[in-house]
């Protein structure tokens, strides 16, 4: 049996979600754009899913647009700001997902925007005063700041950032891919214009997500074709994916307090056992701070010895699935760890947890790591 501790990359599909989407793979297969009963029944299901999501987030159904996932949602938010709202200045952080950073780099290199980075400290904390200075000294801007980092787990105060943006008349986009389904989001109070989400990060199906776009903010289309999603996102809808997304979010909100408590205990257990059995362990960013980090992510920096070899391969060979950082950046040095000045010569392991993990799995993982380092010391 394998142990899966890479839930920041993707999560196991919830069995309740699987049961909910199966009929939309086998029985309800109509095209929702068709004007007959097969199409109408599927269209009704899609709109029901949209309403479910909107109700959970305290938003309006017309503010939810389904996408293929977080990357498309992030791209849509940024490109809409630049092309539909004539934004010429974008402020972001060096820690954003590549779906944000690479998009902004293309726009900058094309001469479409000026790009500014918010100052940060060695733990990855953002200097909000610097953000305010950047907003004061530039024309109307877009601020793009993720809610929680996918590698080191740092939580950003998007409520405060939203207030600062609102006071300066800036648009605000937040990538909430890692926190959607893990924290409650009240979009009627949060002063953001766009958020991005992806179902497979909270036990839903892969290949589906959504962008929240505040009422009155115009989206630019990335895809042209049919009139799906109220002419905002062309292409036949991912029906079973959308149904699964809504069900996964519904389950997440139903059980959110229980799962937060349970998973935080697993993370605390991992921290304590690593410190006890490995000794020379460091935690990147705010990863080990329960108040300032995502409870599902722990980034550990472990000592290096020539005998350790590739630590991720060692764990894989011992039936433990983890990563060194973002699954989207495999094979390259982490831009996040570079940005906080982490010691890149050490072994970095990102452990990320879910409701399906157990204390026994945590203990086994640390035992295997401890055995390796004890063998080296001997």
What percent helix, strand, coil does the chain show, rounded to 5? 45, 15, 40
Rounded distance between C-alpha atoms, residue 125 and residue 378, angstroms: 39
pLDDT of residue 326: 60
Residue 185, pLDDT score: 97
Which of 199, 224, 254 is the C-terminal boundary of a domain? 254
Whether residue 104 sits in one domain with residue 49? yes
Residues 301 and 319 in one domain: yes
* Catalytic residue of the set 272, 290, 304, 328: 328
On whether both 95 and 243 belong to a single domain, the answer is yes
Q: Is the sign of the CA dihedral 76, 81, 87, 93 positive or negative? A: negative
Q: Looking at the structure, do residues 74 and 172 belong to the same domain, yes or no?
A: yes
* 8 A C-beta contact, residue 171 and residue 189: no
pLDDT at 324: 86
- Token readout for 373 is 């380092």
pLDDT at 345: 85
Q: Which CATH number do you get for residue 267?
A: 3.90.1150.10
Q: How far apart are CA 35 and CA 155, in angstroms?
A: 46
Last residue of a domain, one of 208, 236, 254: 254
**Is 184 found in the same domain as 121?**
yes
Examine the domain organization and report whether 245 and 263 are in the same domain: no
Q: How many domains does the chain have?
A: 2
What pLDDT is stored for residue 338 in this prediction? 92
DSSP secondary-structure letter at 155?
A: B
Query: Which regions of the chain are under pLDDT 70?
Result: 305-309, 325-332, 377-378
Same domain, 177 and 264: no
Residue 165 is a catalytic residue? no
Cβ neighbors of 100 (< 8 A, separation 6 or more) are 74, 78, 92, 144, 146, 175
**DSSP conformation letters of 280-330:** S-EE-TTTT-TTTB-TTEEEEEE---GGG--HHHHHHHTTEE-BSS-GGGT
* Domain termination residue (choose one: 198, 221, 254): 254
User: What pLDDT, on the 0 to 100 scale, is given for residue 330?
Assistant: 53
Q: Which residue range(s) make up the domain with 219?
A: 15-254
Q: What is the CATH number of the domain that holds 90?
A: 3.40.640.10
195 and 116 co-located in one domain? yes
User: pLDDT digits over 78-125, tens only?
Assistant: 999 999 999 999 999 999 999 999 999 999 999 999 999 999 999 999
In this structure, the answer to whether residues 249 and 260 fall within a common structural domain is no
Check whether residue 88 and residue 217 sit in a common domain: yes
């Amino acid at each position: 049996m394998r142990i899966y501790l890479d839930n920041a990359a993707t999560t196991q599909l919830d069995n309740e979600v699987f049961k909910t989407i199966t009929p939309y793979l086998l029985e309800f297969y109509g095209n929702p754009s068709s004007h007959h009963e097969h199409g109408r029944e599927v269209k009704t299901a899609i709109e029901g899913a949209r309403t479910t999501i909107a109700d959970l987030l305290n938003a309006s159904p017309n503010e939810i647009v389904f996408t293929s996932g977080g990357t498309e949602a992030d791209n849509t938010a940024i490109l809409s700001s630049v092309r539909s709202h004539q934004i010429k200045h974008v402020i972001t952080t060096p820690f954003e997902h590549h779906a944000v950073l690479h998009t902004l780099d293309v726009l900058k290199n094309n001469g479409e925007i000026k790009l500014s980075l918010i100052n940060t400290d060695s733990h990855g904390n953002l200097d909000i005063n610097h953000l305010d200075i950047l907003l004061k000294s530039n024309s109307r801007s877009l601020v793009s700041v993720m809610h929680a980092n996918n590698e080191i787990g740092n939580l950003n105060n998007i409520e405060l950032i939203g207030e600062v943006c609102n006071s300066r008349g800036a648009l605000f986009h937040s990538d909430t891919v890692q926190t959607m389904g893990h924290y409650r989001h009240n979009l009627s109070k949060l002063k953001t214009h766009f958020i991005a989400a992806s179902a497979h990060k909270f036990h839903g199906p892969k290949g589906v997500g959504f962008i929240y776009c505040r009422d009155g903010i115009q989206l630019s289309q990335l895809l042209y074709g049919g009139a799906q999603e109220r002419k905002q996102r062309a292409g036949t809808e991912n029906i079973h994916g959308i149904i699964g997304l809504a069900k996964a979010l519904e389950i997440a909100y139903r059980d959110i307090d229980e799962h937060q408590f349970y998973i935080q205990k697993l993370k605390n257990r991992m921290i304590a056992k690593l410190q006890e059995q490995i000794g020379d362990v460091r935690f990147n960013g705010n990863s080990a701070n329960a108040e300032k980090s995502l409870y599902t992510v722990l980034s550990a920096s472990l000592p290096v010895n020539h005998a350790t070899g590739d630590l991720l391969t060692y764990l894989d060979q011992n039936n433990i699935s983890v990563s060194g950082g973002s699954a989207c950046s495999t094979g390259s040095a982490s831009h996040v760890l570079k940005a906080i000045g982490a010691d890149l010569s050490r072994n970095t392991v990102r452990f990320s947890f879910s409701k399906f993990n157990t204390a026994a799995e945590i203990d086994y993982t640390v035992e295997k790591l401890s055995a390796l380092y004890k063998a080296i010391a001997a």
